Structure 1
Amino acid sequence: MQTNKYVLLAAMFYCLFLAACHSSSSNQPGPQPPQHTAPRIQKTDEAAEPAPPHPSLIKAATEKALEYTQKKNKLDPNAALVLHFLNRKFNMGSQYDFSHFYKKYPISDPRGRALERMVNPNVKATAADFGSRYKGTSLVDHLSNTSYMMNCALMCDKIPLPDDYFTLLEQQTQLGRYFLTHAALSLQWLKENGCITDQARADKLQNLQKELLTKLIVEVEQPSDLGMEAVAVLLYIGGRDKLSPQRITNIINTQLPDGGWPLGRNSAKQSHDHATVHALWALLEYANPNAPATTWIVKN
């Protein structure tokens, strides 16, 4: 059983407890056991195909979101990690580096050490720092497995993956919601780290993730942190052809006056760092399809 400290760590960094929170305020179910039936395949998110939003609208929303981040003395650590990657990919300026918000990596617990590799290529971690793989079906088990899954992916070129790692990826994918988005991130990190040993299996899983993300984007409430994260991750893993431009228009139209976005309907007038940075990520990916490929993991 995980300690309370570890559960809180996982919740803060992965925002996965939001899966349970959102399930009570939307029509989406909470985390479900893995399902082994194939999903209905759909080419796009099945929304009507309107014209894409004008580039000037995307630019204006992006600039307001960037201004929002600069008003914060301490951006949420998870949001700051994402923003650091966005700056590396889209060359926005040193004020968006992780070090602008945190002079020192803020998590001292060893089980958060692998995450530091997103911003520090010299970080040292061992397999013992990854946490443990759990076989149960409780929310705590799923959260712990997500942390473990991501840590393994971030360090896979340094520390070999466990034999059952891909099975874990497939199971987390089928859980949906935030478990799905983080499984999709983890698989992409495996690719970027050169850790894929079964290309056919990896391609099949990523195609499934694209389909499930597309379905999730249609079903989840708007605006919501989960919806914007799903759009950003879908674009990041190469699923642009499955996304209706209306989803980007929806993101633009739900931006708050301070430049941020809310977690969801229950906090519709209050901006949140995590939601804002993921909305920003979605806008940047959509507006810059020809941006140079950039890996999350900084190599030295």
Structure 2
Amino acid sequence: MNPLTTPLPNSLQSPLNRFYEYLRSEKGLSLHTQRNYKQQLEAMAGHLVVMGLNDWSQVDAAWVRQLASKGMRDGMKASSLATRLSSLRSFFDFLILRGELAANPAKGVSAPRKKRPLPKNLDIDEVSQLLDVNEDDPLAIRDRAIMELMYGSGLRLAETVSIDIRHLSLSAGEIRVVGKGDKERKVPFSGLAREWVAKWLKVRGSIADAQEPALFVSKLGSRISHRNVQKRLAEWGQKQSVASHISPHKLRHSFATHMLESSQNLRAVQELLGHENISTTQIYTHLDFQHLADVYDQAHPRAKKKAKE
């Protein structure tokens, strides 16, 4: 029996039809979302018929888990399975709202987490090629200062844009930044990052409005926007003939990758990046297996003993 072609009993189809009308007339969802919900719900209802159920009140958490497992076995993507379960939760919430169901059996069932693609980083030669900017134009000086700071301290785009001059201590080589969740942290910056920020401060007054507190400003004199930074970085990548597309996150990721490769100190990099959980920092690691094997051979006492023999 094919669940996609099996007619649904009225006890399953009628509540679905009422739900579709509710989505259209009361929720005002887009046609695309309505079609997705209908496609997913009809598919699940068909599977329920095959499994011997003919009423939505018979569905419990175990049945929902079976439906999710069936989707996984059929090769559904995590995002599609999440949409499937979301549509089912919304439908059951609707039945509860109408007094046709006492509890939502899909509430405790979650889809598998989507795989987080590893961000790509620049290699050190590409970073050097990108940052080889020695123009006297104030905007070019500003852009290099931004890039040096983002790569030199691993700052997020939002953190960079929100820096005020008062947050900066050139003598101490520290910046106070406000990260995700409005959490403040001090970030060190030195070397070329400090050198180019100092150069920018010398010419900033020729562009910035007199009362503007922002460290980095646009040519209009006010705080530079996120979009402007993204656009300028992409343009510099093309101008400097860097093969990779340049983005703020790519500079941050390159900072994390190069710091981890040099220091092997995941906790320190976690602090520098402002990550609450170390698991977030771990996605920035690009250490290959051979490198890990070398570390093991050098560090593990049994491995070292074997090497001596």
Task: Calculate the TM-score normalised by the size of structure 2.
Answer: 0.25
Task: Calculate the TM-score normalised by the size of structure 1.
Answer: 0.25
Q: Which has the higher contact order (CA 8 A, sep 6+)?
A: 1
Bigger Rg, structure 1 or 2: 2
